Amino acid sequence: MSYKPSALRLQREAARRRVSRHSTLVALISTLAIGAVLSIVVSGAPGFKLVRESFFNAHYARTAFPNVLSGLWLNLRVMILAEIFVLIFGLLIALARTSKSAILYPLRLLATIYTDIFRGLPLLLVLLLVGLGIPGLQLSWLPNSAVVLGTISLILTYSAYVAEVIRAGIEAVNPAQRMAGRALGLTQTQTQRVVILPQALRKVTPPLLNDLVSLQKDSGLISVLGAIDAIRAAGIETAQSFNFTPYLVAGALFVALTIPLTRFTDWLTRKQDRARVQQGQW
Amino acid sequence: MAQSMVEINSLRKSYGSDVVLQEITTSLAEHEVKVLIGASGSGKSTLLRAINLLEGIDDGQIYLDGDDITSVGVDPDKVRAQIGSVFQSFNLFPHLNVLQNITLAPRLVHGITKEIANAEAMSLLERFGLADKAKQYPDLLSGGQQQRVAILRAVITKPKVLLLDEVTSALDPILIAEVLTLISELKAEGMTMMIATHEIGFAKRVADQVLFLHNGQILEFGTPLNILENPKTPELKAFLNALRGAGRL
C-alpha cells in the first residue's frame, strides 16, 4: 500500500518551513544591519584614510609577500617539529602524573612541579629566559641558534598544556575499564596501553588539536629572539617602508595555516557529539 | 567429592569500621556452581572481587587450586589470568570490536598468536550465535549480546573458575533469558562458577549450592530447594518474602 501523508503532516511541514524561512530572513537582515553600522563607523573615523593606507596597501603587500612567505616556511618547520615533541613529552608527563606506583613518586612530583610552572609562565618570558639565558651561560656545547632555542621554549610551554589535557582524558575513562582489564590478567602497563590510553586520547582529541592550533600561531613569537620567521620578515619589510601591510600579510598567512586544523577540530567534535547523542550518553 | 578449586577460610574484610565480610568460610569444588543470594550490600560482590584479588582482604586465606593466593608475594596478575570475571555493567572495551575484546587476554596474557586466538574466538562466537557480530563495536550490540560477549571474553582462556557478579541486573527480561541460557550451557560443559544473582528461579536451576549472605556473613547454605523452600533464619525468610512481594520469586 502506498503511503499518503496526512493533512496534519503537511500542515506541520508547512509550519516548519515558515519558521525556517523566517529565521533566514532575520539572520540576513541583522547581518546587513550590523555590516552597515560597522562600515559607517570605521570608514567615517577621522583616521580611516591613514589606517587604510598603512595597513591595507596592495603595493606593499605584493612586494613583502615573497619574503614573508619564506619566513613562514621556517614557522612551518618549527611548528611541526614542536608538535611532534610536544605530543611525546605531553604523553610521558601525563603518564607520570597519573601513575600510582611508589617508585615513580619523584617523577610524579617533578611532573607536577613542571606543569605548574610552565602553565603559569607567559610564553614570552620562557622565550626570553631560554633564548637569552642559555647563550648567556657561554657553554659551547649548548645550542645558541634562535630557532633551536625558540623551538625548545615552545616545546617546554606546550608540553605542560598538552600533558594536562591528556591527563584529564586518562582520568575521564571509567575506572571500571581499568578493573575489567586487570580482571583479565593484564598488567598495569598493558591495561594502560591497550585499554585506557586509546580511550583517553579519543576523548581529548578536540582539545588537543585546539592546543596544537594555538602552538602553531605562537610559533610566530620566536621572532623576538631574532629568528627570521614570517613575523620577523614582515618587521624587516616594515622597517624599510614604514608601512604595516607586511604584518597583515603575515597574519593572513598564519590564519590560512591554522584554518584547516581548526575546521578539522570542529568536524571531529561534531562527529563525537553525534555519536554520543546516538548512544544517549549525556 | 572432587578436589576443591576454590577454598575460602575465615575471610574478613572491612572498610574502616564498616565490616563487609566476616568469617566467610566456604569452598567450591571443580565443576561446582555456587550461587550467592542476599540483599544489595550483603557482601556478594565484595566476596567475588576478593577472590580475583581486585579487593584486598583483612584476614583469612583464599586458595585457588591448592595455592594460597592471598599470601605475601603472590603476583595478582598471574592469579587473575586463571580466573574469569564478568560484571554487571559488561565493561567491554568500547574502542575494540567484539573479536578484539575476546582475543585481548589470550594474546597479551597467555601469549597465544593472533591467528590461533582469532580462530578460537570465532569458534566460540559461532557456537553461541554471535559470529556475525565479530567485527562490530560493543555500542552497536544489545545489552544481552554485550553481556554474552563479556562472558565469552572471560571463558576463552579456560579459567579455573568463573565469577559472575549480577550479570543480568542491567538487562530486561528477554535479554536476561539469553544470558542465562549461555550460563546454563557453560554449566553443562562443567565450568566451575560462583554466581551472585537476584534471579532466584535461575539460581534454582543451575546452583549445586546456594549461599545466603546477610551483613557480610553466610547465614544459611544448602541445596536450592532447601534454602528457598525451607528458610530457617528470620533474615532469609524476610529476604525471600521481599522478593516475593516484588514479584521476583
Task: State pLDDT tens for residues A173-229.
Answer: 999 999 999 999 999 999 999 999 999 998 898 899 989 999 999 999 999 998 889
Q: What is the pLDDT of residue B169?
A: 87
Q: How far apart are CA B188 and CA B134, in angstroms?
A: 25
Q: Kindly report which listed range (A198-202, A257-261, B118-122, B216-220) carries the lowest average pLDDT score.
A: A257-261
pLDDT of B137 above 70: yes
Q: Kindly state the cell numbers that stand for A113.
A: 612541579
The ipTM of this complex is 0.91
Chain B contact set for A195 (CB, 8 A): 93
> Inter-axis angle of helices B143-155 and B173-188, to 10 degrees?
20
Q: What is the pLDDT of residue A111?
A: 93
**Cβ pair B93:A187 closer than 8 A:** no
- Minimal C-alpha gap between B16 and chain A (Å): 22
- Residue A117: CB atoms within 10 A of its CB come to 13
Q: Which of B74, B90, B91 is the best mutation test for A, with the most CBs of A within 10 A?
A: B91
CB of B122 closer than 8 Å to CB of B181: no
Average pLDDT of the residues of chain A: 90
For chain A, say whether B140 makes contact (Cβ under 8 Å): no
Percent of chain A with pLDDT over 70: 97
Q: What is the pLDDT of residue B185?
A: 94
Q: What is the pLDDT of residue A10?
A: 93
pLDDT of B241 above 60: yes
Chain B contact set for A202 (CB, 8 A): 95
Angle at alpha carbon of residue B138, lines to B134 and B144, rounded to 5°: 90
- Minimal C-alpha gap between B215 and chain A (Å): 25
Task: State pLDDT tens for residues A98-154.
Answer: 888 888 899 999 999 999 999 999 999 999 999 988 888 888 777 778 899 999 999
**Cβ pair B93:A195 closer than 8 A:** yes
pLDDT of B121 above 90: yes
pLDDT of A166 above 50: yes
Chain B contact set for A183 (CB, 8 A): 52, 54, 80, 83, 85, 87
> Residue A281's pLDDT band (boundaries 50, 70, 90)?
very low
- Minimal C-alpha gap between A270 and chain B (Å): 18
Q: What is the pLDDT of residue A52?
A: 87
A213, A206, A209, A224: which is closest to A122 by C-alpha? A224
> Residue B114's pLDDT band (boundaries 50, 70, 90)?
very high
**Cβ pair A185:B87 closer than 8 A:** no
Task: State pLDDT tens for residues B52-68.
Answer: 999 999 999 999 999 99
**Cβ pair B109:A177 closer than 8 A:** no
- Minimal C-alpha gap between B147 and chain A (Å): 13
Chain A contact set for B52 (CB, 8 A): 183
- Minimal C-alpha gap between B227 and chain A (Å): 31
Q: What is the pLDDT of residue A276?
A: 58
**Cβ pair B95:A182 closer than 8 A:** no
Which residues contact residue B221 at a Cβ distance below 8 angstroms, ignoring those fewer than 6 apart? B26, B209, B210, B211, B212, B227
Mean pLDDT of B187-212: 92
Chain B contact set for A185 (CB, 8 A): 77-78, 80-82, 105, 109-110, 157
Q: What is the pLDDT of residue B65?
A: 94
For chain A, say whether B80 makes contact (Cβ under 8 Å): yes
Q: Kindly state the cell numbers that stand for B145.
A: 549480546
For chain A, say whether B89 makes contact (Cβ under 8 Å): yes
pLDDT of B89 above 80: yes
